[in-house]
Structure formats: structure tokens, C-alpha cells
A = this chain, B = another copy of it.
Amino acid sequence: MGMPTLREVAEEAGVSLATASRALSGSRGVTVENEQAVKHAAARLGYRTNGIARALRSHRTQMVGVLIPHIADPFFPRVVQELERSLQRDQRSILLVDSLGDPTLERERINDLLDRQVDALVVVPAHPQESCTTIELAAATVPLVQLDRPVAAPTDVASIDHRGGIYLAVDHLVAGGCRRLSFVGAESPLEAVTSRRDAFIERLQHHGLPLPTTTPLGSFSVAWGAEAAGALLHTDPSVDGIVCANDLIAIGVLRALRARGRIVPDEIAVTGFDDVGFAEVSDPPLTTIRQPVSELGRAAAELLTARIDADEHRPPRHITLPAELVQRGSTTPVGATTTRVTATADTPGTMGEQSQ
């Protein structure tokens, strides 16, 4: 009793162990009769192949390690979902670990994953500098893709064009008639975040519009958004458009504006960033920049499979995905027929179609 082994299946089918293995693992070089005989025998005995034995022998576990700084962050689960779906198509599974944003823990977890012989790694680095050597070391052992906030290591990367996203927001407000724009930002060590303010300034200059006297930085919170908006109305009463570094801040801004009786979007338009769940249910619904999370997961999976199945030693590739503008009620609508406008990507190509 216990699970039947391949040897028993072979005996039941009247063939050798080798033939049974070939028949079940789909290798060529087995007569149709033998193949059927083996498959029937396997079905009769309720045989299930032992993935661990297979992995030990074949040096392939068909497992991909996925390391995330904080699994519960609303951003990552959607990436993981698409990653899982994409990898599943190649019979690969995800071994999921959480670094809790700690570089030391991150290093341990990566070693755990490598000990388990994962075929590849997808990593969202915990820290822009401290994660670097860990990632380089890991990348020397297995194919590795960095996601979303790459450190300076020579690996494949899939990330999002935050800068282009801010451009979209500014362009949209300008197209809607805004001329005095302000920015409410947040402090962060992540380049993905700090670049948003720079992008805002650049784009104003591009349009030849006046720069705001200050671009205040606070936290990613409703309270900060409300506070900053209050100050802003005081500093620059003629402001007619506010670009926010994320949706929470934007919600705070909306609330402060309402408290002061300013009509959104007629008097002042507001944009967010991220398109988290409540952007859609805020009042008014928030125009925001959506990050293409599913596409990010898929891009990572593509980079990985390409490197595992094909050219293991090609130079690193960097896929940057365009963010998109989601028009809702907090800005003056532009172009009645379209609701979504896509930014141009740095590296288009593979990511053309969209399945979700």
C-alpha cells in the first residue's frame, strides 16, 4: 500500500521502468501501444508521479521563488496572481516568501528558496541599495527577474513608467483647461516615488506653464493630502489643478476642497496615482494613473521563461510598461468617446495584447 511507484506501473503494464517513464513524461520514442498500456496501468493503480524524485533526477523543480517585501500591500497580490497564471501555463508553481521589507530577512529567504532548488527567482527588492549584493549573488545561481523597483544589478527587470504616468496626468489637466498646477507629494527612498515630483516639474516646463512656489512632500495619507491642500489654497488661491503622488493623498485633497466649498472639477481638478479600490468609490470618483499590475506580472513571467527555456546567457533585458490614465469625475473630461489613454512605453514590443 501507499502510493504506487513507477516501477509498479511498469510491471502492471509489462514494460520496463524506463519505458514507463518515457510514456508518462511525454518523451518521444515509445510505441503507441506501449504508451497506452502504461497510461492505463497508471490510471488503474491511481499512480501519481512524484515531483520530488523527478526534480532530484532531472535537476528541475519547476518552481519559481517569488520574494515580495510585503505580501498584503494592495499592489503585489495582483502582480502575483498574474505571475501565477502565466507560470502555471508552463507547469511551474510559485514558492512565495515575504521579506517584510528587511534586507537581512530578504537574504535569508532567498537562500531558503535557493536551497529548495527553485529554477528561477522573481524579486521585488526590499531596499534600493542594501538588496544589491544579495540580488547579484542570487542572480549568479539562477535566472532572476527584478520587479518594479530594481536595484543596480545586471538582471532582467520588469517595471512601470511612473514618469510617463505623471506626464499623462499633467497633460490631461492641461487639456482640460488647467493652467495653474500644483503637486502634493510624499517622501520616500524609492526612486519610483521621488521621480514623480521631478516628472511633474519637467512636464510643466514642457508646457511652458508656471511652476508652483513649492511642491510639498509629506506621507502617503489622507491627512497629509488634506493638510497640504489647505496650505496650497492659502499660498496660491488661483490653483486650478492638483496632481497628487498617490490616491490616498488625493482623497485628502478632495476632502479639504469640499470642506472649503471648492467645486471639483469645475474650479479645481484633482488627479491621484495607483488606482486603488477606493479611487473608484470616492466622491467625486478620482481620476488617477493606473499601474498595469497584471501586465507587470506577465512581463516578469515572460522574461523568466525566455531565460529558462531559451538563451540563458543573453544580456539582461528591461521591460518598462506604460501607466494609463483613468478618467473619472475629479477632472474635466476630455474626448467624450475615450475613457482610457495609454502612455508610450520605453520598450514596447512583447506587451502588446492584453488578456485581463
Contacts and interface: CB of A to CB of B under 8 A. Distances in A.
Contacts of A95: 63, 93-96
Contacts of A114: 48
Interface string A199-234: 000000000000000000000001000000000000
Nearest to A117: B52
A71 B84 contact: yes
A interface majority secondary structure: helix
A52 B59 CA distance: 9
Given A50-B115, A51-B116, A281 B97 contact: no
Candidate in A91, A114, A278 with the most chain B CB atoms within 10 angstroms: A278
A50 B85 CA distance: 27
A248 B94 contact: no
B71 A74 contact: no
A112 B93 contact: yes
Contacts of A49: 115
B278 A117 contact: no
Interface string A64-86: 00100011111011101100110
Q: Which 9 A-B pairs have the closest CB atoms?
A: A278-B278, A77-B77, A51-B116, A71-B81, A72-B78, A72-B81, A96-B96, A51-B115, A72-B77
